Copies of this chain bind each other. A is one copy, B any other.
Amino acid sequence: MHEISDFLDAGDAQSAAAALAELHPSDIADLLEQADEDRRELLIALLRPQFDAEILAYLSIDLRDEVIERLEPKALAAAVAELDTDDAVDVIQDLDEEAQRSILANLPPEARALVEEGLTYPEYSAGRLMGRQFVSVPEFWTVGGLLDYLRAAATSEDTDLPEEFYDIFVVDPMHRVVGSVPLSRVLRSRRGVKLVDILHEDIHRIAVTMDQEEVARLFRNYGLVSAPVVDAGGRLVGVITVDDVVDVIEEEAEADLLAMGGVGEDDLYRAVLSTARSRFRWLAFNVVTALISATVINQFTNTIAQVVALAALMPIVASMGGNAGTQALTVAVRALATKELTTANAARVIGKEVLVGLLNGMALAGIVGGIAFLWFGQSLIGLVIAGAMVINLICAGLFGGLIPFVLDRMKIDPAVASGVFLTMVTDVVGFLAFLGLATVILL
């Protein structure tokens, strides 16, 4: 890959193109992602004549749009037609409508029908993830018959055998899934053995409407490599393989991480203006909560005017509450994502967070109270901040656990929305407890 940069630096486009042709699509995607704009344009120009649409599948969505804009619809459609249906659906689903239409119109009729069908399934469903090529055979076949069939299909012209597969699906005459046989099991069995005698019946059939997160959970929990996708009637309609699921796991983990950081979606490749706009929404929300805290503080200007040291100390209480609350919140958000936090154990988990808040609140109260006393030489100031700390950390534990759980029950993504509400609570409680106690005790 460094070689290609060297060729391009030296202006040797031909050698660069030759070296590009040797690379795996995912490496080309990496190259495009790490290039600056000029270099990217140059690379796309080199790739254009024989564009491999699989590169698109590895690009982040923003960069994908950029690359697609620079390709001709016909060339793009030709490239997409070469993809497996699931990859084609994956690439097309994120495009805007016009781009979708122009690619679909240029696809061969058969591929077009499959892709259009794929797009009819709900977003993030198993139907969007699944491939349409699989090996399904009747239950009365033997291992020998299967081998002969596969060998014949491999050499036939219009084979629809998938490039790679991991399980043979055994179906009844209605095309309902009876079971599956892992390939390693086929290889171990003699020709005369009947498939019905070596198949696993107790397999995980995935409904075509199942959410992709649930699909990922199944694959992870049961160590699956491929699984049949069935329609409402139990008929085999597709297959999901573990490589699709790895992408889903990555995407879900990334989405949670970004959401908790207040970023809507990966914006690494987006232009400055569009990045700023998408992030602004989150900041605007936070302005509201910051203004609410300001209003709280503003009720105590009289107290602050009399003991100005309070102004220096009050952010400590709010920020420590925020930090402790974020700890509880992170654990809760993660446990909700992995289904480890459920109605059954919610009271216990949240109760524990309150206790943890109490313990750490007392520990911090001792430290910060002591420092405040030494700093300002007033034991009452130490007492005020210590009391406020305990109150705020208990609230932080309570709401850090409770907010994500309640949002999740309300079908709101806890990773996205929990942070704003929590900050509001820990700021308001922090300032209120500290300045309130100060007013009562010091004045």
Contacts and interface: CB of A to CB of B under 8 A. Distances in A.
Nearest to A29: B221
A298 B309 contact: yes
A243 to B, nearest CB: 4
A184 to B, nearest CB: 5
Interface stretch (A66-74, A312-320, A405-413): A312-320
B261 A330 contact: yes
Of A164, A182, A223, A431, chain B has the most CB atoms within 10 Å of the CB of A223
Given A58-B221, A246-B219, A312-B297, A331 B187 contact: no
Contact of A360 (B279, B327, B334, B363): B279
A129 to B, nearest CB: 14
Interface string A295-306: 101100100110
Contacts of A165: 184
A344 interface: yes
- Chain A: interface residue count, which band? 35 or more
Nearest to A33: B340
* Number of copies of chain A assembled together: 2
Contact of A183 (B26, B184, B222, B324): B184
A395 to B, nearest CB: 15
A282 interface: yes
Interface string A200-222: 00000000000000000001111
Interface of A: 24, 26-27, 30, 33-34, 36, 58, 60, 146-147, 150-151, 153-154, 161-166, 182-190, 219-225, 242-243, 245-247, 249-250, 253-254, 256-258, 260-263, 266-268, 272-273, 275-276, 279-280, 282-284, 286-287, 290-291, 293-295, 297-298, 301, 304-305, 308-309, 311-316, 318-320, 323-324, 326-327, 329-331, 333-335, 339-342, 344-345, 348-349, 352, 355-356, 359-360, 363-364, 367-368, 371, 423, 427, 431
Given A242-B243, A261-B331, 19 more contacts: A150-B187, A164-B184, A223-B243, A242-B242, A245-B246, A257-B260, A263-B330, A267-B331, A268-B341, A268-B349, A272-B355, A282-B323, A283-B327, A283-B364, A287-B316, A287-B364, A287-B367, A301-B309, A311-B314
